[in-house]
């Protein structure tokens, strides 16, 4: 093929082949190609740059060979990831977005889409903070105002929140802070805070001890007495607390911290209050479940992730700011790109050039919308409760946390420990059993849940291996949940024989 | 439309409509819809969340109305952005990638694509560092090794480099450093360093003065005497220099810092050497121009941007590490996601969940490849030289920096100053003229270059407004360049009358 043709030719067969690959993806599970690292590494071990003479049909053949080796998260028996199959229109929208190649870092390189981004952020701001229409009319497109920023994901959104909080609290120079007698900076939250906060505080130059992971109550919510004690402790130690972190949907349990109480403490102490609602934020669409998020509207900043429950492609995070002038704490300019006098969103974003993913949000808002999201969310939350009831009814399982949203933590119990009391030594056996079982199930590839390691209050501080199911795929039916649990029971027999006999 | 249909229906007409939108994009320029901010803000000012009952055909109508308002960077008379029209297969590949929804943060959620990412990074590592095949065989898929990481763009790649450099030099706790008597940390580079380094050092808690922007020589390359002087200055002030920054392709001029000399100084001083090759890196594909990058292979870390000269969609940055163990300085784990014993790339990336954009690189490597990139790059660099010669031959223009790569800095001279000597007061007039002219040209919308503000050595330190042309679109022909310059001359007559009479 001529190089020119790559740019102009419509490649008439290509769309049909790609459609076939997508169709196949929706019908596959991982059992086709076992999870075998040495096989994977052997197949993809060419460090030489190709000369570029491969025909498109041969490259399609390469794709066809790669595809069975990927994760088949569209299978309704896959309940382990926080990513789901996307609405069918997404593929076509992605095609448009890729070819338009707009860069919303600055108005000049995306024009109208810059404003679409601000409009989409305003819609989410209103969902979260419920300010009046006048507020949005005034600030949505105002010059030195930002209701939020788009980020590549929840991690960069959380990092941006810490950046804002620190600069707002004490500027960008920690040596100057040290000269004033401060011995460090810290953030306070529960031990279930996402690990992006560790990355963030590491980046910020605050050291590992700056992330104060505090105990949780029996419902996996930050302990308020522990928070008050740690605030006093930091004060005594001359540690400046730059933010309190509330989690609305922990990654392990889906639990929600006591947001109203945390907001009150943050206000009393004059500390930035950030809520990580990457997982739980869209719960606000549901009138049935919205009350779970009470207090989120009191946060200074809120992280959302479009590519989780908002059902848009990966790479679509957001940080929302309650007050439109907060972003001035990190505002930047550059002579060739971002002018101080401009309206460019690039003045506020940590990232520079980036894709115009707001278009995915705009499409989802119009095509799925408030009513559609409410229904999808409520059905997912119902499914989690159904799965919990199946688990509770069966001595082969133990429910480790009742579902608050659509995340479920449980574990499998080996036959010889079913119906028995579980002391520390039993838990050690159960941990080994669940690790082996999860790996075995993953290798077989018919169904999937992920695993984590956490303490659960009724067993004290002992680290426990937990299985983690995520109800996000709208195609999951009761029979898929039953099939997954059945497979675990069957594999459990095999695994127990290998481990304990 | 039923909610369920959004997930399962193939939307038979949708692909045709999207193809028509893409086709229209390729044929439009901005003259259809003037650059009118108040019009844009009026059209997109709805903060209410839609209920979600919009039919797909109505949403297509919304897209059709939005499209003329975007930036028409595919026009061959658009030479102002660092983004170009992409090869035609990109759209279909994007459709596949969006629908597969793979997350290469961890192996479990992307499986084979994790290894494809490592393979793609190895190919680029080899292009940049030219290590032997054994090196790649050993490290490409090794456990505690990373030849690089994918990022959402050059900014996060540069930030990651600073993070690595600081942690490697002095850990992640600046208060501990202050206690040891250090009064600050700094990076040293030319004043043409990208503004992502300011963001990065701000994030790192180092304060604004930590980015030491040093003078350049008459070819816009970092002045080595200035570098040596600043190193001594930092030592005297007890400022720890964590990195030297070399730029391979400045955003304003495309100039390349003296990389071999900087590498030698960095080695002598034991300082991390980072090269920002976001723009210039792919020059390595061309045997004709590769020598420009001499010394890049001595860097500890190198930033590349897939979405610039590698011609893949936005959101595809990379940081390459010469030594595979460097990334251990920022390694992270999380109990539910990233296990210490794993091979997960998420142990090293600043970002968490992110799209599997390595697939775009893999496709471009096979379909465009070394030979194709070499030809595209050489043709672009030739076009820049052609444009420079047209500018030099015409008294209505002044070439402000001879093109090193495919970036061109020049300015328009108003009629009354053509052929005259240009002192400080003439330059003030010429600045105002070029600002007005660039805005006028952007508003007319038939052709486009961007503008920047920089000093140019023959005029001392006076800030000058420069026009900046980027030769990246392979569809640009001589007649498009001539048309752009002709339009500037014609608009220049009008603008000069408004400004100077």
Beta bridge partners, A189, equal A213
How many angstroms separate the CA atoms of A391 and A397, rounded? 6
Phi, psi of A383 (to 5 degrees): -60, -40
- How many CA atoms lie less than 13 Å away from A424 in the CB half-sphere? 4
Nearest alpha carbon to residue A141 among A428, A437, A316, A344: A344
- CB pair distance less than 8 Å for A368 and B3: yes
Say whether B286 sits in a helix, a strand or coil: coil
Distance from chain centroid for Cα A417: 35
Contact partners, residue A212, CB within 8 Å, separation at least 6: A186, A187, A188, A189, A230, A234
All residues at 6 or more sequence positions from A71 whose CB lies less than 8 Å from its CB, including other chains: A30, A78, A81, B102, B103, B108, B109, B110, B111, B113
CB contact under 8 A, B96 and A179: no
CB atoms within 10 A of CB A217: 16
- pLDDT-based confidence at A339, cuts 50/70/90? low
d(C-alpha A111, C-alpha A100), whole Å: 12
Query: Which conformational region is residue A36 in: left (phi greater than 0), alpha (psi within -120 to 50 degrees), or beta?
Result: beta
How far is it, in rounded angstroms, from Cα B260 to Cα A105? 33
CB of A95 within 8 A of CB of B22? yes
Q: A199 vs B30: CB contact, 8 Å cut-off?
A: no
Average pLDDT (A238-253) is 97
* Edge-to-edge order in the sheet of strand A317-321: A148-151, A317-321, A301-305, A272-276, A239-247, A184-190, A211-214
Contact list, A115 vs chain B (CB under 8 Å): 40-41, 43-44
The DSSP secondary-structure symbol of B448 reads B
For residue A232, count CB atoms less than 10 angstroms from its CB and return exposed for 0-12, middle for 13-18, buried for 19 or more. Answer: exposed
Q: A207-237: per-residue pLDDT in tens? A: 989 999 999 999 999 999 999 999 999 999 9
Token readout for A182 is 């401060």
Give me the residue label for tokens 């893949």. Answer: B312
CA distances from B314 to A64, A325, A363, A481, B352 (A): 25, 28, 19, 38, 18
Question: What residues 122-181 of chain B have any CB closer than 8 A to a CB of chain A?
Answer: 122-123, 125-127, 133, 136-137, 140-141, 152-156, 159, 163, 166-167, 171-179
Written as one string, the DSSP assignment of B346-383 is GGT-SSSS---THHHHHHHHHHTHHHHHHHHHHHHHHH
B284 at A interface, C-beta within 8 A: no
Take residue B10 and report the two structure tokens written for it: 């193939």
What is the Cα–Cα distance from B213 to B15, expressed in whole angstroms?
50
Nearest beta carbon to residue B332 from set A7, A198, A353: A198
**Pairing, β A272-276 against β A239-247:** parallel
Residues of chain A neighbouring B87 (CB-CB closer than 8 A): 6-7
| A258, two tokens | 């006591």
Q: B residues 107-126 near A, CB within 8 Å?
A: 107-116, 118-119, 122-123, 125-126
State the number of CA atoms in the 13 A half-sphere of B28 facing the CB.
Answer: 20
pLDDT tens-digit profile of B7-44?
Answer: 876 676 888 999 999 999 998 888 888 788 888 999 99
501 residues of chain B, pLDDT tens digit each = 578 788 876 676 888 999 999 999 998 888 888 788 888 999 999 999 999 889 999 999 999 999 999 999 999 999 998 888 999 999 999 999 999 999 999 888 999 999 999 999 999 999 999 999 999 999 999 988 999 999 999 999 999 999 999 999 999 999 999 999 999 999 999 999 999 999 999 999 999 899 999 999 999 999 999 999 999 999 999 999 999 999 999 999 999 999 999 999 999 999 999 999 999 999 999 999 999 999 999 999 999 999 999 999 999 999 999 999 998 888 776 665 566 677 788 888 999 999 999 999 999 999 999 999 999 999 999 999 999 999 999 999 999 999 999 999 999 999 999 999 999 999 999 999 999 999 999 989 999 999 999 999 999 999 999 999 999 999 999 999 999 999 999 999 999 999 998
State the sign of the Cα–Cα–Cα–Cα dihedral B51, B52, B55, B58. Answer: positive
Determine whether the interchain pair B450/A46 forms a contact, defined as Cβ–Cβ distance below 8 Å: no
């Amino acid at each position: 093929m001529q190089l020119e043709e790559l740019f102009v030719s419509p490649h008439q067969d290509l769309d049909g082949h790609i459609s076939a690959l997508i169709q196949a993806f929706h019908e596959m599970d991982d059992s086709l190609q076992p999870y075998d690292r040495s096989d994977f590494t052997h197949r993809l071990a060419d460090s030489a740059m190709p000369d570029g003479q491969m025909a498109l049909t041969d490259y399609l053949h390469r794709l066809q060979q790669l595809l069975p080796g990927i994760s088949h998260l569209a299978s309704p028996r896959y309940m382990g990831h926080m990513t789901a199959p996307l609405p069918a229109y997404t593929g076509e929208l992605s095609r448009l977005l890729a070819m338009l190649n707009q860069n919303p870092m600055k108005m000049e390189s995306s024009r109208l889409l810059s404003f679409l981004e601000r409009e989409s952020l305003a819609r989410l701001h209103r969902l979260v903070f419920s300010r009046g229409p006048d507020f949005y009319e005034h600030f949505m497109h105002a010059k030195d105002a930002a209701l939020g920023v788009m980020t590549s994901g929840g991690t960069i959104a959380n990092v941006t929140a810490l950046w804002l909080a620190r600069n707002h609290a004490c500027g960008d120079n920690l040596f100057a802070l040290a000269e004033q007698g401060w011995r460090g900076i810290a953030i306070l939250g529960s031990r279930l805070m996402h690990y992006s906060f560790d990355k963030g505080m590491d980046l910020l130059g605050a050291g590992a001890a700056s992330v104060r992971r505090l105990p949780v109550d029996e419902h996996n919510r930050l302990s308020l007495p522990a928070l008050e004690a740690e605030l006093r402790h930091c004060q005594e130690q001359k540690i400046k607390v730059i933010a309190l972190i509330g989690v609305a949907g922990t990654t392990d349990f889906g639990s929600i911290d006591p947001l109203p109480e945390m907001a009150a403490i943050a206000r009393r102490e004059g500390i930035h209050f950030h809520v990580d609602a990457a997982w739980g934020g869209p719960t606000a669409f549901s009138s049935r479940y919205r009350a779970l998020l009470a207090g989120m509207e009191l946060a200074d900043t809120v992280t959302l992730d479009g590519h989780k429950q908002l059902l848009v492609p990966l790479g679509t995070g957001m940080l929302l700011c309650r007050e439109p002038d907060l972003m001035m704490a990190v505002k930047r300019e550059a002579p060739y790109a971002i002018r101080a006098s401009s309206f460019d969103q690039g003045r506020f974003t940590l990232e520079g050039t980036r894709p115009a993913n707001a278009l995915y949000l705009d499409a989802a808002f119009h095509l799925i919308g408030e009513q559609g999201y409410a229904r999808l969310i409520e059905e997912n939350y119902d499914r989690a409760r159904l799965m919990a009831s199946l688990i509770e009814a069966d001595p082969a399982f133990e429910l480790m946390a009742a579902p608050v949203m659509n995340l479920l933590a449980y574990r499998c119990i080996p036959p010889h420990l079913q119906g028995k009391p579980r002391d520390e030594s039993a838990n050690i056996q159960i941990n080994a059993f669940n690790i082996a079982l999860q790996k075995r199930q993953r290798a077989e590839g018919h169904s999937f849940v992920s695993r984590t390691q956490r303490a659960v209050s009724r067993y004290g501080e002992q680290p426990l291996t937990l299985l983690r199911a995520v109800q996000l795929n709208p195609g999951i039916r009761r029979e898929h949940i039953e099939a997954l649990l059945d497979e675990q029971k069957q594999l459990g027999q095999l695994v127990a024989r290998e481990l304990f006999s």
